């Protein structure tokens, strides 16, 4: 249900004022967005509040196409006069830019969706929960961890976002939507003063498109994790450093989601693949001339783009082009078969319809092509468990949790670390390791995929802070995946690589 106070804004009147003015000025297309973004950041250090901040972003934006050229303008004023003036400025921008535009805008067709409403799946709106109750929960987590032997410091936090968005265009589409997302998290730190060394261990809980019920235990067992992290951290402090070499890896979804994000998610953004992100965040090795032929990975690899999965951070009913969202294939049977794109890029690829990837992170930013929930599908023929995958490994490492990462500007050469690493010997876990990073090229890594966990191992991970574009925009995105087995992957010792 969309908040009544947002729905009560003069949304229709603002749209009429902006779109009527744009029509009078002879545009080929015009759309209006009205957005309200509520954010709350709470963080505690060793049980004491270090941050408690609330932010509100409110405004409207108008996009137009004039003579095949985009124009854009925005304002914080929600009046019909300001809406009409913003449309006028957007047209002036388009006419000014027309002289330097060498690629006239052509947009894919889309059905009209008049007066539709959509809301993300949640039970408790976190912005209705008293701030002191939320702080009390984080303080309780902190106290429980600090009471454990060996835990020297604890950080706890919970960023929360509610995003309301109204969209209307000259074709007749008008949508009003509401999304909620949050990330309850904690990190425990142990310190060895004698050796001058410390280790950290963070919750494996991903950010989610859920409400406050998530922090209370719906969708994640925080109580169980709080009970086990101190012991796991103590074991890590005593763990031996890994011997570099080639290992079979069983990678948990809590780690693999980030590898998917960097090596598949960004690589299959169509704007990046044709060079639009080159100046800021690089291009992609997965260029359109290889569509349908590039061997991305083994035949087990099936990756989808999805803007509809429940609780996904990039899940929405309609994108910022007015496109109804869905699911589609990016990699099927190990072969590149699709891209993420918006209505302007779909015709460049010869497609009749966008797959709904237009998004702006603010009413003051222009929509760009952004990542969907990009997910690796599980083994559908058998519900293979993580233990089953481990049982098939003679000498390997089980990788759990995400940490640091590095990937080149073409999304091809990479290395990833993690939070927890377990030695695998003869099909069994044999204690933790430290200083592990795995390194490969994207196609070699995914080509070494030899086993997939079943649906019961599939977890929806993700991040709130995926950056892109100039000026920079930030978007939240989820990536689901099962546990997976990769054969003969190069493992580095990070301490030795750092000269320690």
Q: What is the pLDDT of residues 156-177, one digit of tens each?
A: 999 999 999 999 999 999 999 9
> What distances in angstroms separate CA 257 from CA 57, 264, 363, one per listed residue?
30, 10, 29
Task: Please give the average per-residue pLDDT across 47-66, as a whole number.
Answer: 98
Res 499 pLDDT > 80: no
Same domain, 60 and 200: yes
pLDDT at 194: 83
pLDDT at 279: 86
Give the model confidence (pLDDT) of 221-269 as tens digits. Answer: 999 999 999 999 999 999 999 999 999 999 999 999 999 999 999 999 9
Same domain, 277 and 292: yes
Same domain, 116 and 188: yes
Res 500 pLDDT > 80: no
Give the model confidence (pLDDT) of 315-355 as tens digits. Answer: 999 999 999 999 999 999 999 999 999 999 999 999 999 99
Same domain, 116 and 232: yes
386/372 Cα distance (integer angstroms)? 26
pLDDT at 325: 98
Question: Which range (25-39, 267-281, 376-390) has the least confidence?
Answer: 267-281
> Residue 54 belongs to a domain with what CATH number?
3.30.2290.10
pLDDT at 39: 98
281/274 Cα distance (integer angstroms)? 13
Query: Cβ–Cβ contacts within 10 Å for residue 251, how many?
Result: 27
11/361 Cα distance (integer angstroms)? 19
Task: Please give the average per-residue pLDDT across 401-408, as a whole number.
Answer: 94
Task: Please give the average per-residue pLDDT across 422-446, as a whole number.
Answer: 98
Query: If pLDDT is split at 50, 70 and 90, which confidence band does 497 have?
Result: confident
pLDDT at 195: 83
Please, are residues 343 and 354 in contact by the beta-carbon 8 Å criterion? yes
Last residue of a domain, one of 203, 219, 238: 238
pLDDT at 329: 98
**Helices 222-238 + 131-146 axis angle, to 10:** 40
Task: Please give the average per-residue pLDDT across 37-62, as a whole number.
Answer: 98
Please, are residues 325 and 318 in contact by the beta-carbon 8 Å criterion? yes
> What distances in angstroms separate CA 51 from CA 48, 136, 144, 159, 458, one per listed residue?
9, 14, 20, 10, 34
Exposure letters 404-428 (e unless 16+ CB within 10 A, then b):
ebebeebbbbbbbbbbbbbbbeeee
Least Cα distance to 165 among 185, 151, 154, 179 occurs for 179
pLDDT at 280: 84
Same domain, 229 and 253: no
Last residue of a domain, one of 207, 238, 269: 238
Same domain, 381 and 301: yes
Task: Please give the average per-residue pLDDT across 179-207, as a whole number.
Answer: 95
Instruction: Tell me the residue length of the chain.
Output: 500
Same domain, 220 and 263: no
If you average pLDDT over every residue of the chain, what do you get? 97
458/391 Cα distance (integer angstroms)? 18
Same domain, 193 and 287: no
pLDDT at 435: 96
pLDDT at 277: 87
pLDDT at 95: 98
- Reduced 3-state DSSP string for 74-88: EECCCCHHHHHHHHH
Same domain, 188 and 318: no
Give the model confidence (pLDDT) of 70-99 as tens digits. Answer: 999 999 999 999 999 999 999 999 999 999
Question: DSSP strand E in 170-284: where?
Answer: 174-182, 185-192, 197-202, 245-251
Range of the domain at 319: 245-497
pLDDT at 477: 98
pLDDT at 489: 98
Q: For the chain, how many structural domains are there in total? A: 2
Same domain, 159 and 257: no
Last residue of a domain, one of 238, 258, 282: 238
Res 498 pLDDT > 90: no
pLDDT at 386: 98
Query: If pLDDT is split at 50, 70 and 90, which confidence band does 430 have?
Result: very high
Same domain, 205 and 251: no
Same domain, 232 and 360: no
């Amino acid at each position: 249900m969309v908040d009544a106070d947002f729905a009560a804004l003069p949304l229709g009147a603002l749209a009429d004022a902006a779109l009527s003015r744009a029509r009078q000025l002879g545009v080929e297309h015009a759309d209006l967005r009205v957005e309200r973004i509520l954010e709350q950041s709470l963080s505690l250090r060793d049980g004491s509040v270090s941050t408690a901040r609330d932010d509100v972003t409110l405004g409207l934006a108008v996009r137009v196409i004039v003579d095949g050229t985009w124009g854009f303008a925005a304002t914080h004023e929600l009046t019909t006069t300001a809406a009409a003036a913003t449309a006028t400025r957007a047209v002036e921008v388009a006419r000014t830019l027309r002289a330097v535009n060498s690629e006239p805008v052509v947009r894919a067709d889309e059905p009209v969706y008049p007066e539709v409403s959509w809301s993300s799946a949640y039970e408790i709106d976190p912005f209705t929960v008293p701030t002191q109750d939320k702080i009390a929960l984080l303080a309780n987590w902190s106290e429980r961890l600090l009471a454990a032997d060996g835990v020297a410091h604890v950080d706890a936090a919970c960023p929360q976002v509610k995003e309301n968005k109204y969209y209307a265009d000259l074709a007749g589409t008008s949508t009003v939507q509401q999304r909620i997302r949050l990330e309850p998290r904690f990190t425990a730190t142990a310190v060895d003063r004698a050796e001058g060394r410390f280790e950290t261990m963070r919750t494996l809980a991903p950010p989610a498109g859920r409400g406050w019920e998530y922090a209370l235990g719906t969708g994640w067992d925080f109580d169980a994790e709080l009970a086990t992290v101190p012991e796991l951290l103590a074991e890590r402090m005593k763990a031996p450093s890994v011997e570099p070499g080639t290992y079979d890896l069983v990678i948990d979804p809590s780690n693999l989601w980030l590898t998917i994000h960097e090596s598949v998610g960004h690589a299959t953004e169509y704007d990046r693949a044709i060079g639009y992100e080159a100046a800021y965040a690089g291009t992609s090795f997965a260029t359109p001339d290889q569509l349908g032929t590039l061997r991305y990975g083994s035949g087990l690899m099936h990756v989808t783009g999805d803007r509809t999965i429940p609780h996904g951070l990039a899940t929405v009913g309609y994108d910022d082009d007015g496109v109804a969202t869905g699911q589609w294939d990016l990699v099927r049977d190990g072969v590149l078969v699709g891209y993420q794109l918006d209505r302007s890029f779909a015709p460049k690829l010869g497609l009749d319809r966008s797959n709904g990837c237009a998004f702006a992170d603010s009413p003051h930013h222009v929509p760009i092509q952004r990542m969907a929930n990009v997910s690796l599908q599980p083994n559908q023929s058998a519900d293979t468990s993580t233990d089953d995958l481990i049982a098939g490994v003679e000498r390997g490492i089980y990788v759990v949790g995400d940490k640091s990462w590095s990937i080149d500007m073409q999304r091809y050469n990479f290395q990833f670390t993690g939070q927890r690493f377990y030695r695998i010997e003869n099909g069994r876990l044999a204690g933790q390791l430290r200083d592990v990073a795995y390194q490969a090229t994207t196609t070699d890594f995914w080509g070494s995929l030899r086993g997939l966990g079943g649906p019961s191992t599939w977890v929806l991970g993700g991040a709130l802070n995926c950056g892109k574009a100039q000026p920079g925009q930030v978007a939240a995105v989820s990536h689901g995946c099962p546990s997976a087995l990769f054969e003969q992957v190069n493992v580095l010792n990070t301490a030795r690589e750092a000269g320690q």
